[in-house]
């Protein structure tokens, strides 16, 4: 069986930073440290950090007053920040810098007298955080059809920002509809879209040109992992989402000469290797890595953690 790994795949810089913040916080302050929401959407990452002493909570009330508390990579609303301050929590903010950039863009558009339209998935933690960071109405748009139901005048000054786990390809239809409907509309440059989301989606499209089946390593609650699987299906290649090798169904790859593997931005490379091992148990594997973009972006850690030695 030919097995081709997508390039790039797996962890992005925002995820690496978020995990490192938890690990360095544990080294500096000792266990437990409290993490609001899953630090990233991956069960294996969460379980690994739990084993080191991280305690995952959904409400800040679950953390003792004064405790070291970390906000997840998805970002939080201002109300959460205020509650943390009122309870005297020592906060380390693991919000991805690209998510923070969206918050700043939305605030600036509102300050300049524009209505803010947010393109994204209702209920996603990033969306809840972004809507809660902007001190004014935010109009959520999930589909092109939603654009027609917006209760805004055609000539009203409007703006748009997008959820970072959506790519240029995913948002261009909605943005096109918005631009056709509104005469006074601004939005960020397409280069502001999350580089990791776009790169992984571009890579999986290339992978689909060579693979009979695509396996996407990632968690069911990972937006970007689900989207990678959907892209494979859209281009006509059977595609499956699995957290690790234990979830591999041999029927998925039965008769396949070439199996492509990619991973969502929150999936560790160890789980990709775990899936490859599961394939090897089915028969001989000839492994190769597809040509693709080499990502070199790194995000700075919070100042109080920079001097802490990284975990072994």
Q: Is 239 annotated as a binding residue?
A: no
126 is catalytic: yes
Strands 90-93 and 115-119: unpaired
As a dihedral over the C-alpha atoms of residue 175, residue 181, residue 183, residue 184, rounded to 10 degrees, the angle is -50
Q: Is 37 annotated as a binding residue?
A: no
Chain centre to alpha carbon of residue 30: 28
As a dihedral over the C-alpha atoms of residue 111, residue 114, residue 119, residue 124, rounded to 10 degrees, the angle is 40
CB 106 within 8 A of CB 77: no
Q: Is 12 annotated as a binding residue?
A: yes
SS3 92: strand
Catalytic option among 23, 81, 126, 170? 126
Q: Is 288 annotated as a binding residue?
A: no
Q: Is 223 annotated as a binding residue?
A: yes
Q: Is 74 annotated as a binding residue?
A: yes
CA pseudo-torsion sign 220, 226, 229, 235: positive
Q: For residue 299, is it left (φ>0), alpha (ψ between -120 and 50) or beta?
A: beta
Q: Is 124 annotated as a binding residue?
A: yes
User: Residues marked as binding for [4Fe-4S] cluster?
Assistant: 12, 96, 194
- Catalytic amino acids? 126
Q: Extract the annotated binding site.
A: 12, 41, 74, 96, 124, 164, 194, 222-224, 266
Q: Which residues are annotated as a binding site for isopentenyl diphosphate?
A: 41, 74, 124, 222-224, 266
């Amino acid at each position: 069986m030919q097995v081709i790994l997508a390039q790039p795949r797996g962890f992005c810089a925002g995820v690496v930073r978020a995990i490192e913040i938890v690990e360095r916080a544990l080294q500096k302050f000792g266990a437990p440290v409290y993490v609001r929401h899953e630090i990233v959407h991956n069960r294996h990452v969460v379980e690994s950090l739990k084993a080191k002493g991280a305690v995952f909570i959904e409400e800040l009330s679950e953390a003792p007053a004064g405790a070291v508390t970390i906000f997840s990579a998805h970002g939080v609303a201002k109300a959460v920040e205020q509650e943390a301050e009122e309870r005297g929590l020592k906060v380390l903010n693991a919000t991805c810098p690209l998510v923070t950039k969206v918050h700043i863009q939305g605030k600036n558009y509102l300050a300049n007298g524009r209505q803010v339209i947010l393109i994204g998935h209702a209920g996603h933690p990033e969306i809840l955080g972004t809507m809660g960071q902007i001190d004014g109405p935010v109009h959520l748009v999930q589909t092109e059809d939603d654009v027609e139901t917006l209760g805004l005048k055609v000539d009203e000054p409007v703006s748009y920002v997008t959820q970072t786990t959506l790519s240029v390809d995913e948002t261009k239809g909605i943005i096109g509809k918005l631009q056709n409907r509104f005469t006074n509309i601004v939005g960020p440059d397409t280069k502001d879209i999350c580089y990791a989301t776009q790169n992984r989606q571009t890579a999986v499209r290339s992978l689909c040109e060579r693979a009979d089946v695509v396996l996407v390593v990632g968690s069911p609650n990972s937006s970007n992992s689900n989207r990678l699987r959907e892209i494979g299906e859209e281009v006509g290649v059977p595609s499956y989402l699995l957290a690790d090798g234990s979830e591999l169904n041999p029927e998925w790859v039965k008769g396949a000469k070439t199996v492509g593997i990619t991973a969502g931005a929150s999936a560790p490379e160890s789980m990709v290797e775990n899936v490859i091992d599961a394939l090897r148990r089915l028969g001989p594997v000839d492994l190769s890595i597809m040509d693709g973009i080499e990502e070199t972006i790194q995000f700075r850690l919070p100042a109080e953690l920079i001097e802490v030695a990284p975990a072994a």
